[in-house]
Amino acid sequence: MERTEKHSTLDDPRVSAMKPTLTIPAAIVVGGIIIALAVYISMPKLAALSGGNPALVRPVGTSDHIFGNPAAKVIIVEYADFDCEFCSGFSQVLHQVVANAGTDGNVAWVYREFPLSEIHPNAMKHAEAAECAAQAGGNDAFWKFADTLYAHQPVDPAQYGTFAESLAIPGDAFASCFANASTTVVDRITADRKNALDVGAQGTPYSLILVAGKPPIVMNGSYPYEAVKALVDQALANAK
């Protein structure tokens, strides 16, 4: 049976050497789907074990980083860390989910910062750089910068300026934002991290599938595409 993976503040940092596998044999795919359905059924139990409450997820708003239709029936809220290798693999899965399941605008993805500074010394800097990319270039710039951070793990902060230039993000605005580490940026990251802990996240990636009027569906770790699709299909079926 497929085991979900995540980075945890309690895990041995050597776990980062394990790469998520995106090409999955058929037998493992079936296992992933079974796990996904089991997570959906046992969501309240998972919430209790995590010590948080998924219902405390902050409502999605215009200030969020949204990939897809902001008015989608199903929204996946992910709390992640740019130095987390499992987050990098899961990011590709979520891109695929939105590209396929979201073609009619029914599925969107929200990224929220959950830098695990306890095990990733540069995690907070990466989060600040991504937020500065958003401030300088808007929502699209954020997503392009996020993809670039994942693609170049482990990232040396000295590369931020090169990344911004390659993505046509206004360099002066980006540099000024990052150099000053504005209260707005830091407060946003801190608020995202606090909300992650409130909902029960203990590692990354940690995600919630939201449907209006329904309890959140928890994804605690990195899931294969087929497992996420099964949960999203279930959520779409339950959407009004």
Half-sphere exposure of residue 170: CA atoms within 13 angstroms, side-chain side: 10
Return the closest-CA partner of residue 22 out of 219, 225, 220.
225
Q: pLDDT confidence of 229, banded at 50, 70, 90?
A: very high
Domain boundaries along the sequence of the chain: 22-238
Q: How does pLDDT run across 137-163, given as a tens digit for each residue?
A: 999 999 999 999 999 999 999 999 999
Both tokens assigned to 4:
């979900």
Output 217-220 pairs: Cβ under 8 A, ≥24 positions apart.
217/39, 217/40, 217/43, 218/39, 218/43, 218/46, 218/47, 218/54, 219/4, 219/36, 219/39, 219/76, 220/4, 220/6, 220/39, 220/46, 220/50
List helix spans (H) across the chain.
26-41, 43-50, 85-101, 123-137, 139-151, 160-166, 171-180, 183-199, 225-238
Q: How does pLDDT run across 106-129, given as a tens digit for each residue?
A: 999 999 999 999 999 999 999 999
The pTM score is 0.81
Q: How does pLDDT run across 19-72, given as a tens digit for each residue?
A: 333 333 444 334 444 434 433 333 333 343 446 899 999 999 999 999 999 999
Architecture of domain 22-238 in CATH? 3-Layer(aba) Sandwich (3.40)
Q: At what angle do helices 171-180 and 123-137 cross, to 10 degrees?
A: 140
